Amino acid sequence: MQWQDEAIIIGVKRHGETSVIAELMTRERGRHLGLVRSGRSRAMQPVLQAGNRVEAVWRARLDEHLGEFKLEPLRLRAARLMETATAVYGVQAMGALLRLLPERDPHPHLFEALDIILEALDDPADAGELFVRFELAVLNDLGFGLDLSECAATGIRENLVYVSPKSGRAVSRDAGAPYADRMLALPGFLGDGAAARAADRDSMAAAFRLTAHFLHRHVYEPRGLAESAARDGFVQAALKALARKPDSQDPERQAG
């Protein structure tokens, strides 16, 4: 058995004296593990860093075997990803999300999303918004997607400001008003069309609470898992950076 595919490294474990087991997110074959002989060598260590994109050739006698990887670097970005807290935590947090999916289950759109986000992790505003959308995509692939396109009660598509914590569906301002204290906030930047707007610190915090609620409800608690510590680190780093970022729309703050 043999195949070749583009992949992004999401984790590495030592194996024996000189080898490692590499965990990759491949474009066409999902999350896949394999042995890399001499993976702890000086030549291979810079390649086998989380976030790097590689060309992977996998070989095994039978499809169900662990198999071996031969890896060639395509984009070595791990060094840049160590420069900011959002990037350091973000790489780990996205790896933890991908491990919620079955091994070898294809998710090509998640590969593409991961590749895009890894290029933006050093910008806290972009990183936070893309990360939340990545969490929503993972929830959708796990069968727990949110419907944020129209009001669950009325079917209208305007003034969607809440999300039902039970159904995961959007609710309009008027329909949700009597139950506002029990609703989750729907951040404006996650809305559709003209209503969507750029994320600020408050809307980003609301978005992190939104995805965390459904990850806990549908994934972590049923599986007896705890939230990734890296996610908490990423959330704190992203919100801290956004709190320091001046509002380009506010002329008074610009003048100050």
pLDDT along the chain (256 residues), means of 10: 97 96 98 97 96 98 95 95 94 98 97 96 86 98 96 94 97 96 94 65 95 98 96 96 65 39
Q: Do 247 and 214 share a domain, yes or no?
A: yes
Helical (H) or strand (E) element with 197: none
Sequence-ordered strand ranges (E) for the chain:
2-15, 19-26, 30-36, 53-59, 68-75, 160-163, 170-172, 184-185
Give the domain-ending residue among 42, 76, 110. Answer: 76
Q: Do 224 and 103 share a domain, yes or no?
A: yes
The verdict on residue 171 lying in a domain is: no
Q: Do 52 and 85 share a domain, yes or no?
A: no
Give the domain-ending residue among 14, 47, 76. Answer: 76
Domain of 125 in residue numbering reads as 81-148+186-255
Q: Which 8-state DSSP code applies to residue 147? A: B
Alpha-carbon distance of 120 to 61, in angstroms, equals 39
What's the pTM? Answer: 0.91
Q: Do 60 and 89 share a domain, yes or no?
A: no
The verdict on residue 53 lying in a domain is: yes
Q: Do 131 and 233 share a domain, yes or no?
A: yes
Alpha-carbon distance of 209 to 206, in angstroms, equals 5
Residue 72 β-bridge partners: 55
Alpha-carbon distance of 31 to 107, in angstroms, equals 9
Give the domain-ending residue among 76, 101, 130. Answer: 76
The verdict on residue 120 lying in a domain is: yes
Alpha-carbon distance of 114 to 194, in angstroms, equals 26
Q: Which 8-state DSSP code applies to residue 102? A: P
Q: Do 47 and 91 share a domain, yes or no?
A: no
Give the pLDDT confidence score for residue 123 in this predicted structure: 83
Alpha-carbon distance of 10 to 19, in angstroms, equals 17
The verdict on residue 70 lying in a domain is: yes
Q: Do 71 and 85 share a domain, yes or no?
A: no
Give the pLDDT confidence score for residue 256 in this predicted structure: 36
